[in-house]
Chains A and B, each alone.
Chain A
Amino acid sequence: MTDETRNPEADSQAAATDSEKERTDMPIDTATAPVMTNTVADGGKATPSSPAPGIDALGAMDALNSLHELNSDRDRMAKRSERGMRAMCVRASWIYGLMAFVYWGVGLMFGGYFYSDIGYITIMAALALLMIAAFVVIIRYQKATGISAFTLAPNKRKAAHDTQFIVASISTTVAQIVLPWIGFAWGFIGGNWIGAVVLAVLTALAIYGLERWHIREWTRVSRLPVVPEEDPHA
């Protein structure tokens, strides 16, 4: 498989994992199945004896270790995703702040306070650039983390029932769509540029705050363990 970054330790690790595979591909149910037949005690008739308790315990321990390994991987991936989202959050906040400011210009035009062909073209070009920038930020997240940008929620089945996560996701998305329109409203009523700048900064801060909350919830849901870390026999 060709990939953009190759690991030079490939062959040595491949050899090591081959032996590991042979060791660990043995299914646990084989290990925990009855392993001896008692042909002496039953007059030569082969009957399965009870499974060796040590093998049962080993199987259970192996299974528990496998499940804990899955938890560790989720933790590592959650950290990777969190780093990418934090980087995206700062850039996105700037973009939405600028968008609120540009919307003020659109609002002025729609309110009939200002119109010129050059102004119209400039504003529309700025809007187009901001939308491209938002798209680029998402692509950069995907490039940096290796996680699909279309992953709307980690652990979908669990996330779908997590009220806090759903509220955080929806609030953030709604804020990103609605808040820049406050700039439009300000322009529509003929508000001045100082107010537009203040609104843009407030929009950026509000979206940043909501994004941080969303990231915290995203990371929490990403880390939900496959199996609780405590000993099930305790």
Chain B
Amino acid sequence: MPDKSNDSPIEPKFDETIHAPIRLRICGMLDAYGKLRFDALRDTLDVSDAVCSKHLKTLADRGYVTLSKKAERDSGKGYKVTWVSFTDVGRTAFQAHVAALKQIVAGG
């Protein structure tokens, strides 16, 4: 069932990497904002650094997100802040996965 909410129809495709709840939620937030800081994701998910980091690494390994570390002033001694960006591949996979979930909900 193509997703009619967007311009081009999205072919539903279930993605096992994205389907894990934390990863699905990370992708959902990145789909809305494109680029988010690590702690914004962690706080919204209400998980630990380790859990958030682990799921981000899984997504990064699949090429769904890119992680960039930037030194930020006032962030403390030598600490770097991690920014997470959604890639085009990740966005497409997420939208296809959401379309697949909608299909399942609709009983398709």
Contact = CB atoms under 8 A, between A and B. Distances in A.
Interface of A: 1-7, 9-14, 17, 20-21, 24-25, 27-29, 32, 56, 59-60, 63-64, 66-67, 69-70, 73-74, 76-77, 80-81, 142-143, 145-148, 150-151, 154-158, 222, 226-227, 232-233
Looking at chain B, what size class is its interface with the partner chain? 35 or more
A74 B49 contact: no
Contacts of B48: 7, 9-14
Q: Is the interface of A mostly helix, strand, loop or mixed?
A: helix
15 contacts: A3-B42, A3-B82, A11-B48, A12-B48, A28-B104, A63-B104, A69-B24, A70-B98, A73-B25, A73-B45, A74-B28, A142-B37, A146-B38, A227-B98, A233-B107
Interface of B: 5-7, 14, 16, 19-22, 24-25, 28-29, 31-45, 47-54, 56-57, 67, 69, 72, 74-76, 79-83, 98, 100-102, 104-107
Given A13-B47, A69-B24, A150-B35, A29 B53 contact: no
A82 to B, nearest CB: 13
A49 B34 CA distance: 44
Contacts of B32: 74, 77, 154-155, 222
A3 to B, nearest CB: 5
Given A4-B39, A11-B50, A27 B14 contact: yes
B22 to A, nearest CB: 7
B32 to A, nearest CB: 5
Nearest to B7: A157
Contacts, number: 159
A1 B44 contact: no
Nearest to A17: B51
A154 B49 contact: no
A66 to B, nearest CB: 6
A10 B49 contact: yes
A17 B47 contact: yes
Nearest to A156: B34
A58 to B, nearest CB: 11
Contacts of B39: 3-5, 146
Contact of B19 (A27, A145, A232): A27
Given A4-B76, A70-B24, A70-B28, A77 B44 contact: yes
